[in-house]
Amino acid sequence: MRLVLWLVLVWLPVLAAAAVPDFATVRAHHRTTEGRLVDRAGEPLAERPVDGATRRLEWVPLEALSPAMLETLLEAEDRRFYEHGGIDWRAFAAAAIQNLWYEHPRGASTLSMQLVGLLDPALHPERNHGGRRTLEQKWDQAVAAQEIEARWSKAEILEAYLNLAPFRGALQGIHAAAWALVGKAPDALDRAEASILAALLRAPNAPPPKVAWRACELLRRIGSADLCPRVHQLAAHLDPVRLAPRWNDAPHLARRLVTEPGVVHTVLDADWQRGMERALEAAAPARAAAVVIDNATGAVLADVGGLDAAQPDAAVARHPAGSMSWPVMTALALDTKTVNAATLFPVPATGDAMSVRAALATGAMPEALAAHVPGAREATLLELLRAPGAAAPDLSRVAIDLAQLAALGRMLAVDGVWRPPFWRAQAQGAPVAMISPQAAFIARDLFPAVRVAPLPRTHAAWGVGSNGAVTIAVWMETGATASVETRAWLNARLAASGRWPPERVVPTGVVSAPVRFDNGREPPRSEWFIKGTATAVAAPPVLIARIVTPSPRAIVAAADLDAAGGVWLEASREDERLRWQVDGVPAGQGGRVLWRPSPGLHHIVLLDTVGRVIDTVDVAVRSDVSADARRR
């Protein structure tokens, strides 16, 4: 009988060899359940679980396991591991006798047998068999154990077992178990910690006192019973099982970018990311967020969505651009060369005139200046900024997030080119030239280097500023003093990370010229002009008026045409000295003029008697405004 059994156990593995994978295949197919976010140099920034209920970390080679772990593993599960060929006959015989005569059953599975049980789903214990393997499964397990011993080295068996074995809760493998249960890497485990993990292998979810008792039994057998008090302390903290991220410097960004297991490479800089976190924490706000953009490329160097991973991601929260859009709108208007920093505009409340620079210094954006923003250029920028499906009639009302605020600041501070902020190298978008360097320079000179604004109906403020190297956008919720604290924080960060205030380099095509004002309020001064737009005397418009209809950025449809097939251009006053132009072509004079539009975008200008621009609007005419509709 023993001869028959011996022949079967010798020859069946040969027949079943194809069923046992090789070690290299098993290791190659191991996948972590965690996704990791790394910076441009590969330094880890964050980690999060993204794959199912099981928690697995990277495969750990045998040489990266502590000697204490291997010692306690063999003592607990397979003392004669290096002596048998897959089946420990001595343990098998002892288990058979105990199971026959005693109440408590005893197992005889070797590490090799346990490993094949992990590798082959057909060998998993049957639920309808009391959570135990059937006799047929045990037979197949013994056969496969001999086969794996014949094809794998002892070191490979140990390594694979510890990487595949279930521990407590959803933890699989020594790597996840070590980090989750004792907060250490597998190579740093001491005897007490290793004994706890080894004791879990037999019953991963046993009550903590039972785990501690088993671990102490192990320690007594290897002569370290004095460690039992520490074992009880460790066991008391086994539950709840929580595998915390090993890296947590960018948890909010990780939730946005890490969606599957593996490594997500970014263009972030770990020093910048951690530096921004420390700086925000030092400011001690209740909540804060910041985005840092590289001025040269538009790459995001840091993205801090909040000071606590549990807080909402404030970096992606959108707010109406409001006054943050004014510098860009001013630059776009300057680029039309119909307005400059010395241009006098009427003040509606008083009827007086005030220069662009003086009006902006009061914290107000003149409506007449906003009307000079070219509609086509503004529409392009709106399309770049709008969230999918969102609507916004103009730049001041478009809702933007911190990265977009930083990108707008970078565009104005550097080259006038819109560079979409990007977090991954392969996601870098195409640049779009929006503003001339000359207009950008003058607009920067008209506004503070750091722009800060309170956010309505909140206790928060946001701000943006640039130095020679980076642009920083920040949001802080600190109460009534949020604007003051945000400005101080931005000034400190910009000074710490580059030349501050930034060096002023006058671009070619910008001239400084003296200008005198005829409004009786502003003394003479030197002013910056785009070449060709300088004026020695800035006079108020001879006629003070504005365009009432059509409204800025209006959309004209066939239904808007009057009986004559036209649209009325109306000024705020009736005066035959007023002149109208549409796309540079005279369209009539007086306070009310009929215009027959054609489909497309049109620039409407109201001028005074000497040809000075009083007001402008841009409108879009829909394609349904056909020639027939205009003739009706």
Instruction: Determine the average pLDDT of the residues in 546-570.
Output: 87
* 191-202 helix and 208-221 helix, angle to the nearest 10 degrees: 120
pLDDT per residue as tens digits for the range 420-442: 999 999 999 999 999 999 999 99
Express each pLDDT in 83-122 by its tens digit. Answer: 887 786 665 555 444 444 444 444 568 898 889 889 887 7
Residue range 272-283: average pLDDT? 95
Q: Distance between CA atoms of 314 and 476, rounded to whole angstroms?
A: 9
Is the bond preceding residue 550 a cis peptide, omega within 30 degrees? yes
pLDDT for 500 = 80
Tokens of 108: 């005889």
Which structure tokens are listed for 554?
């209006």
pLDDT value of position 322: 93
Rg (CA), the chain: 37
SS3 at position 148: helix
Domain segments of the chain as ranges:
2-33+54-235, 319-336+372-496, 547-631
**What is the pLDDT, as a whole number, of residue 9?**
44
pLDDT tens sequence across 325-336: 999 999 999 998
230-234: Cβ within 8 A, 24+ apart: 230/192, 231/192, 231/195, 231/196, 234/181, 234/182, 234/192, 234/193, 234/196
Q: What percent of the chain has pLDDT over 90?
A: 64
Helix, coil or strand: residue 542: coil
AA letter at 606: L
Sign of CA dihedral 310, 316, 321, 327: positive
- Convert the pLDDT of each residue in 288-302 to its tens digit: 999 999 999 999 999
Q: What is the torsional sign of CA 63, 67, 68, 72?
A: positive
Domains 2-33+54-235 and 547-631 agree in fold: no
The class that CATH gives domain 547-631 is mainly beta
| Weakest-pLDDT range from 134-138, 401-405, 438-442 | 134-138
pLDDT value for 350: 66
**Does position 16 have pLDDT exceeding 70, yes or no?**
no
Q: Could you tell me which residue, 498 or 171, shows the higher pLDDT? A: 171
- pLDDT at residue 463, as a whole number: 98
Residues 6+ apart with CB under 8 A from 559: none
Structure tokens at 273: 């990311």
What tens digit of pLDDT does each residue of 197-216 get? 999 999 999 999 999 999 99
In this prediction, residue 86 carries a pLDDT of: 74
Quick: pLDDT tens for 156-169. 999 999 999 999 99
Higher pLDDT, 534 or 504: 534
SS3 state at 242: coil
How high is the pLDDT of residue 540? 78
What ranges make up the beta strands (E) of 199-352? 262-265, 287-294, 300-304, 319-320, 344-346
Protein fold of 2-33+54-235: Penicillin binding protein transpeptidase fold (1.10.3810)
Query: Between these two residues, 47 and 456, which has the higher pLDDT value?
Result: 47
Q: What is the dihedral of CA 240, 245, 251, 256, to 10 degrees?
A: -100
Question: Does the pLDDT value for residue 600 go beyond 50?
Answer: yes
62, 111 in Cβ contact below 8 A? no
Q: Select from 298, 278, 285 the least CA-distant residue to 475.
A: 285
Q: What is the mean pLDDT of residues 480-507?
A: 91
